[in-house]
A and B are shown apart, each in its own frame.
Chain A
Amino acid sequence: MNVASHLQKIRKLEALRSRLDPMDDFELWFWSAMNAGTHAVNAALHDAKITRADDVFPAQPGVYLVPQPDSSVRPAFHPLGDVLHVGRPKIDAPIPEDVAAMMHEMELIEHHRDPCIRGERPPTPAIAQQCERALRRCLELLGKRLPGAQP
C-alpha cells in the first residue's frame, strides 16, 4: 500500500486507541497497536526503497490481492510489498538502522500476541506499558524518517 494510506491507517488506529482502555479492552487495544506499528514499519520500508509501495494487499507471504480494472480483486504472486507482520516474510536485504529499530520495537509488542490474545496469560499494566512504549518509539522513529508526515 502507498505511504499516505499507511499513515492514514495509523491516524485512524491511534484515534480509536485513545478511546480504548488498555486493561478493559486489552485485546482490541493491543491489536490496534500491532496494526498501527506494522503500518509504520511498512511505510518506513517503502520509504527506504526496500519494499514496494504498490496498492496490492498481502494475503499470505508472496501472495497479494491485486485490484483489477473492473474493480474486482484477484490473488496473485507479487514482488515484496507490505509485510503481514515483522518477520512475515523475512526480508533478505540490508535494513537501515532506524527501520531495524522500529522492527525491534514491533517484536517486543508481538511477543505478547499469542500468550495474551490467543492464550490465557492475563494482560497486566506492565505488559500494556511495555507495548505502549514500544509503539511510541516505533512511531517516533517513523516521524523522524518522514518529517512532516505526522501519522
Chain B
Amino acid sequence: MSPEAHRAKAERIERSLAKCGPQDYEMKIEAAMLAGTHWLNLALHRMGITPPQTDVLHTYMLTVNELRKYRVADAELLDALAEIEDIRPGFVRGNLPGGEKAAERSLALLSLLRQKAQPDYSAGG
C-alpha cells in the first residue's frame, strides 16, 4: 500500500478513536495496533526498506531475517508495535484487570509510531 494510503488509514482510525471512552479499552488497544501498523509500513516504505507491495501485518508474522533487517532500520518502531501486539491477548481477548492502563500505554506507543513515521520527525522533537 502506498505511504499516502497508509497515512489516510491511520489518520481515519485515530479520528474514530475519539469516539471511544475509557471503558472501551479493548478497541483502543486494537486501534493502536491497526493504526500503528499503518505508521510502521509508511515509515518502512519511506526509508526504502520495503516496497509498497510489501506490508507488515504483524511483527510476529515476520521471518526472523525480516525482523532483524527492519530493526536495523529502526528498532524503536518495531519494538513499539510489538509491545502493542503483546498487550492484546490479556486485555482484548482476555479479561485481565488493568485494561484502561493497558490502553493508555498502547496509545502512548501509537503516538511514538506516528511521530517517527512523519517525514518531519526529528529525534529531539
Binding site for B on A (CB under 8 A): 1, 5, 8-9, 12-13, 16, 19-20, 24-29, 31-32, 35, 55-60, 64-65, 67, 73, 82, 84, 117-120
Binding site for A on B (CB under 8 A): 1-2, 5, 9, 12-13, 15-17, 19-20, 23-24, 26-27, 30-31, 34, 55, 57, 60, 89-90, 92-96
Beyond the given A31-B30, A58-B93, A119-B1, could you list 18 further A-B residue pairs with CB under 8 A, ordered by the A residue number? A1-B94, A16-B19, A16-B24, A20-B19, A24-B16, A25-B15, A25-B16, A27-B9, A27-B12, A27-B31, A27-B34, A28-B13, A28-B27, A28-B30, A35-B30, A73-B90, A82-B93, A118-B1
10 contacts between A and B (CB under 8 A): A12-B24, A13-B26, A19-B19, A25-B15, A28-B20, A28-B34, A31-B34, A55-B95, A67-B96, A84-B93
Question: Total number of A-B contacts with CB less than 8 angstroms?
Answer: 82
Closest-by-CB residue of B relative to A116 is B9
Contacts of B27 on A, CB cut-off 8 Å? 13, 16, 28, 31-32, 35
A143 to B2 CA separation, bound complex (whole angstroms) = 43
Contacts of B90 on A, CB cut-off 8 Å? 57, 65, 73
Given A1-B95, A27-B13: A57 touches B89 (CB 8 Å cut-off): yes
Q: Is the beta-carbon distance between B1 and A120 smaller than 8 angstroms?
A: yes
Given A5-B95, A118-B57: A25 touches B89 (CB 8 Å cut-off): no
Q: Is the beta-carbon distance between B20 and A59 smaller than 8 angstroms?
A: no
Closest-by-CB residue of B relative to A60 is B60
- Option from A35, A119, A120 in Cβ contact (under 8 Å) with B92: A35
Contacts of A59 on B, CB cut-off 8 Å? 89
A19 to B18 CA separation, bound complex (whole angstroms) = 11
Contacts of A57 on B, CB cut-off 8 Å? 89-90, 93-94, 96
- Option from A1, A28, A58 in Cβ contact (under 8 Å) with B16: A28
Rounded to whole Å, the gap between the CB of B17 and the closest CB of chain A is 7
